[in-house]
Structure 1
Amino acid sequence: MLTLDETDRRIVAALDRDPRATVLWIARELGLARGTVHARLERLASADVLAPHSVRVRPAALGHPMRAFVTAEVDQAEFDGMIADMRQIPQVVEVAGTSGDSDLMVEIVARDADHVYDVTQQITRCRGVRRTSTRIVLRDLVARRLDQLVLPG
């Protein structure tokens, strides 16, 4: 994984303030050469540092106002097939391997509570899933944020 230097961090912070910022605007705003900004952005993109723009879209704007976290215990022998199956469920937005009582933490989005139920049923039908437990998000109290890490004060 690429470690960001101070110039990279300043560029990322500028993009965080205005995701539509042009290379020229960033260069002027930060007092950098346009070629420098362009090269840095290319390097950040190729190193998979910048997430796709679709990650910034709120699921509610796409008709999925509910979120839930599903923990799952899985048969490790079926792991690759299970991940392939989960990728086929559009409402599964993230899957993380975890330590502790369960093997996976699956974030899902849904239209309503009935849809949460339907999506969790699809998850239980994935190869290798033994058991699941679902927690519906009632309210975001501290939204996902990284800006405080980009330019630490």
Structure 2
Amino acid sequence: MSALDHVDLELLAALADDPRATVVALADRLGLSRNTVQARMTRLDKAGVFLSYERAISSSALGFPLEAVLSVTVRQADLPRIAEALERVPEIVQAYGLSGQIDLLVHVACRDTQHLFDTDARILAIEGVERTETSLVMGEVIPYRVRPLLELADDDQ
């Protein structure tokens, strides 16, 4: 996608402020026509600007209040197969591939410490996983956000 223009950035900032905003509400807020907003939203969507339309749901509300981050070391040649196996572990809510000493950073949600222990054991049992190191999530310090990046990008315009 070509670079985002000022109107795109304003639209994205409005969505960051109110993710549930309708096209009509966004048009009113930005002083644009509904058709213009809809066309830009469609273009941005096709360009992969929007990551997901899945509503973020609290794992605690589902009965999984214990969250942890596992640093996972794997045999590099087995990484594609390991990633497929990890996708089948329902407690994994997110995973990242990393450079450096750790190969994967895996975020899990569990019922309690025994469930976490069992989940870690299932991950370790995947052929090619060499070791894990578990850190408990004590709390969210900075939630996922893009607003500061939007402001920085707009300053660059």
Q: Which residue is equivalent to 2:88?
A: 88
- TM-score of the two chains, using structure 2 as the length reference: 0.86
CA–CA distance in structure 2, aligned partners of residues 56 and 2 of structure 1: 29
Identity of aligned pairs, percent? 36
1:52 aligns with 2:23: no
For residues 114 and 135 of structure 1, what CA distance do their matches in structure 2 show?
15
- Structure-1 residue corresponding to 2:37: 37
Structure 1 gaps, min length 5: none
Once the two structures are superposed, residues 44-75 of structure 1 have per-residue CA deviations (whole angstroms, 9 ceiling, x without a partner) of 22222212233532322332222211111111
RMSD over aligned Cα, in angstroms? 1.9
Q: For residues 79-104 of structure 1, give each alpha carbon's deviation from its aligned partner in whole angstroms, at most 9, with x where no partner exists.
A: 11101001111221222121222211
Any idea what SS the aligned residue of 2:54 has?
A: helix
Cross-structure match for 1:25: 25
TM-score (norm 1): 0.88
What does residue range 4-153 of structure 1 map to in structure 2 within 5 Å? 4-54=4-54, 56-152=56-152
Q: Which runs of 5+ in 2 are unaligned?
A: none
Q: Distance in 2 between matches of 1:2 and 1:128?
A: 40
1:38 positional shift: 0.6
How many residues were matched structurally?
153
Cα distance change on mapping 1:144 and 1:20 into 2, 3 Å: closer
Residues 1:10 and 1:78: Cα distance change in structure 2 (over 3 Å): same
User: After TM superposition, where is structure 1 displaced by more than 6 Å over at least 4 residues in a row?
Assistant: none
